[in-house]
A and B are shown apart, each in its own frame.
Chain A
Amino acid sequence: MKTALANRMTPYLFLAPAGIVLVAALLYPIGYMIYASFLDWNPSQRIGEADWIGLRNYTNLLGDAAFRESFWVTIKFAAIVVTLEMVLGVGLALLLDRNLRGMSILRTLFILPMMIAPIVVGLMWRYMYHPTVGIFNRTLENIGLPTVPWLSDGGWAFTSIIIADVWQWTPFIFILSLAALQSLPQSAIEASRIDGASAWQTILYVKLPLMMPVLIVTALLRLIDAFKVLEVILVLTNGGPGLSTEILSLRIARTASEFRELGVAAAMSNFLLILLLVLTVAMYLYGKAAELRAARLRAAAEEAA
């Protein structure tokens, strides 16, 4: 009897340390944040001194035009950078998936931007975007073109932060796509070649579909990251001009430190968390659906055979 109980408990016992760490390190802070989002809490108070105000932080946020604007800027930013980075990253991977001399050096060079600290990336680009001494405007001037207000015009500033982000994070997509490409079954590619597929057809009908699971996860990781990017934009524009580059994470940081409203900042973080959860679940469901469809097709093909 006792041995049976002990046997039954053993797996839980082994799981316990991980479970405790999970609860302490993950659930507690999230629970804290959710609790804080119902409080009118400024950083000069301890959490116990803050007033409970129910859902007011949330309802206020929904009516706050600046928050809605920054929500929209975030979605626009994430959608554009992830699309651009996916196209460029996968494209580069397809181009460089071959045995050239010095390839390993080239690959290392390509992933360098990813390794630079975001603050440094921000500073670097800020100098390059400088209206008079920056390399971009100096070059434009030298070839006789009109200069561009990189960071001092709303539309251009938004473009500028996209360029900087694409520069920094395309290598991430590139390196993961390259790994996916190199682990593809050579047999499928050879078979397509024997069937007379052109290079484009191989890419479109064989390589990309086979890479799809990896690409979906990659895109999801990038998307989550893009929603949270802070430092580069903080250094480049600090959200300006106006609210044109004030993405949600920057607004959260400002709400906590500048406006001193920790409860509102927590509510915003929860909105962001919910948004990311919805996206993750949607991606996951899409992956499942695609898998099911593939299985159905395979079954149909087998039946036909």
Chain B
Amino acid sequence: MTLTFKTCVAALAASVSLGSIAAAQDVPAPYQPYAGTTLVVNFPAHPHYNAAMKVLPEFTEQTGIEVEVDQLQYLKMRERQTLELTKDEGDYDLISYVVFSKADYVYADQLENLARYFMNPKLADPNYDAADLIDGYVQNIGVAGGQKGYLPGPTGSLYGIPFGSETSVLGYRTDIFEKHGLEVPETYDALLELACQIPELEPGMGGLASRAASGHQASHAFLLHLNPLGGGIFDDAWEPIVNNEAGVEAANALKSIVDCGIEGSQTFGPSEAAAAFAQGDYAMFLDSIAFAATFEDETNSQVVGNVGWALHPEGVKRASQTGGFGIAIPKNAQNKEAAFLLMQWLTSKEADLMIAMEGGNPSRFSTYENAELNAKYPYAATFGEALQYADPDWRPIIPTWGKINADLGTTLSQIITEDLDVQEGLDGVAERSRAIMDEAGYYTWN
């Protein structure tokens, strides 16, 4: 009796181990040691990540690695991560981070340097083709420790890979432009003139849909204009220059865009601006490429088939936004190597295309050149071209940015809604920013 029982157990054990070997043999060798692992990842609620989640089952099938996703609104996600990353043993194996979190996480030494993974021959895929990753994104989102601390340079290293990154483009209503014989604006002068001309041509319609709500949104909209107009927040010695001529011009541009908008546009966030454009309330939209797919979605959009895309207009130079998200491995992750494999897979040529086909933002040049993608989303070519002008130094990604950003955004809101004098308002921002930077030690070497 005992003997029979033991035999049974042995047979059972043998069959189980045979079964798992059989399962493991299906997956490619690099993934075999990790088959059966469950990774916990933290993603934002964002069109790109919604698309990525449709592709994740394919990863599990190919590698045997399970993925559990915790999805949060992106500012909430940042709050959660801030707490999560200080723990000894974190719950997340892979996190998506919004670009300005790079400064905080890297500075607090909470992200894995990716060099040791790309150096590991068992983990790094030789066909990964890192040169194909969009350079501006990698520099902006992935690299830290080079020039100015947050930009690439000889001393920089890689902490994350762009995934769900975005740049800015100009969307316009082809039907309206055709009806009035308008030309798509190439320059800022043309853009601003047109923005205020449209409400006259089409009564009730706004010129250019833009974010403007007090705080982060107003600041973001301002940055969209500041960089092409040749301005910046700081000079190379961290002295605030936001109140120089280009700064004033950018603030005036924002104010005139909002003034020529529809009622209530002073409180628009990105989704309100996009919704207003999708409802046909505006003739132009200048913001992230992430919204493009929603304008062609018949359930939410009344402008399907009538939206054309062009490059972000040129001021003294072309400088479109760099922003969005990247993915990184937390220092306190439990399954770092498997997380790297997922990271590498998600940003591989194959997965990048699959995600793009589902409506995500490509991280690779080759994806933008793909014929299939261009057939499905005709605007992909324009977006690919826009990326050549994406400015990696679009905003300072430093730990003090959160506070300066909020101050700048509230001041701009006062300029827009309370008629605060532009120069006076920006002078105040510059003065307060200098004090913040001084306290944080940016002038120690001066």
Contact = CB atoms under 8 A, between A and B. Distances in A.
A228 interface: no
A154 interface: yes
A66 B213 contact: no
A44 B267 contact: no
Nearest to B85: A44
Given A154-B418, A257-B79, A44 B413 contact: no
Given A151-B267, A260-B399, A240 B108 contact: no
Q: Name, among A45, A137, A257, A258, the residue most crowded by chain B CB atoms within 10 Å (CB to CB).
A: A258
Given A131-B264, A132-B262, A238-B214, A260 B416 contact: no
B402 interface: yes
Nearest to A147: B263
A137 B104 CA distance: 43
B417 A242 contact: yes
B215 interface: yes
A98 interface: no
B410 A259 contact: no
Interface in B395-430: 399, 402-403, 405-407, 410-411, 413-414, 416-418, 420
Interface string B72-107: 000100110011011000000000000000001101
A7 to B, nearest CB: 49
A152 B266 contact: yes
A261 interface: yes
A231 to B, nearest CB: 14
Contacts of A287: none
Contact of B215 (A43, A44, A238, A261): A238
Contact of A44 (B108, B264, B414, B417): B108
Interface in B53-84: 75, 78-79, 82-83
Contacts of B105: 44
B347 interface: no
B361 interface: no
Contacts of B367: none
A240 B86 contact: no
A238 B110 CA distance: 30
Contacts of B107: 44
Interface in B119-154: none
Contact of A45 (B86, B215, B403): B86
A260 B104 contact: yes
Interface in B260-291: 262-267
A152 B402 contact: no
Contact of B264 (A152, A254, A257): A152
A132 B214 CA distance: 20
Interface string A127-145: 0001110000100000000
A153 B413 CA distance: 10
A225 B99 CA distance: 37
Contacts of B399: 42, 260
Contacts of B78: 257
B331 to A, nearest CB: 11
Contacts of A43: 82-83, 86
Interface string A43-59: 11110000000000000
Contact of A131 (B86, B263, B417): B263
Contacts, number: 99
A276 B86 CA distance: 33
A151 B214 CA distance: 11
Nearest to A137: B263
Nearest to A129: B264
A163 B24 CA distance: 64
A123 to B, nearest CB: 14
B216 to A, nearest CB: 8
Contacts of B267: 151-152, 237, 240-241
B86 to A, nearest CB: 6
Contact of A149 (B75, B216, B264, B410): B264
Given A147-B263, A260-B399, A241 B413 contact: yes
Q: Name, among A43, A147, A152, A237, the residue most crowded by chain B CB atoms within 10 Å (CB to CB).
A: A152
A239 interface: yes
B86 A46 contact: yes
A239 B411 CA distance: 12
A44 B110 contact: yes
Nearest to B406: A258
Q: Name, among B86, B262, B264, the residue most crowded by chain A CB atoms within 10 Å (CB to CB).
A: B264
Nearest to A44: B108
Contacts of B402: 258-260
Interface in A33-72: 42-46, 66
A241 B417 contact: yes
B371 to A, nearest CB: 42
B108 A242 contact: no
A243 interface: yes
A242 B263 contact: no
Contacts of A257: 75, 78-79
A154 B418 CA distance: 7
A259 B403 contact: yes
B406 A254 contact: yes
Given A44-B85, A260-B104, A239 B263 contact: no
16 contacts: A44-B86, A44-B108, A46-B86, A131-B262, A149-B263, A237-B214, A241-B417, A242-B420, A254-B215, A254-B406, A257-B78, A258-B215, A258-B402, A258-B403, A258-B406, A260-B399
Instruction: Rank and list the top 9 A-B pairs by shortest CB-CB distance, nearest first.
Output: A240-B214, A131-B264, A44-B108, A242-B414, A241-B417, A152-B266, A131-B263, A259-B403, A43-B82
Interface of A: 42-46, 66, 130-132, 137, 147, 149, 151-154, 237-244, 246, 254, 257-261
Given A43-B82, A254-B215, A257-B78, 13 more contacts: A44-B110, A137-B263, A151-B267, A152-B265, A152-B266, A237-B267, A238-B213, A240-B267, A240-B410, A241-B414, A242-B410, A242-B420, A257-B79
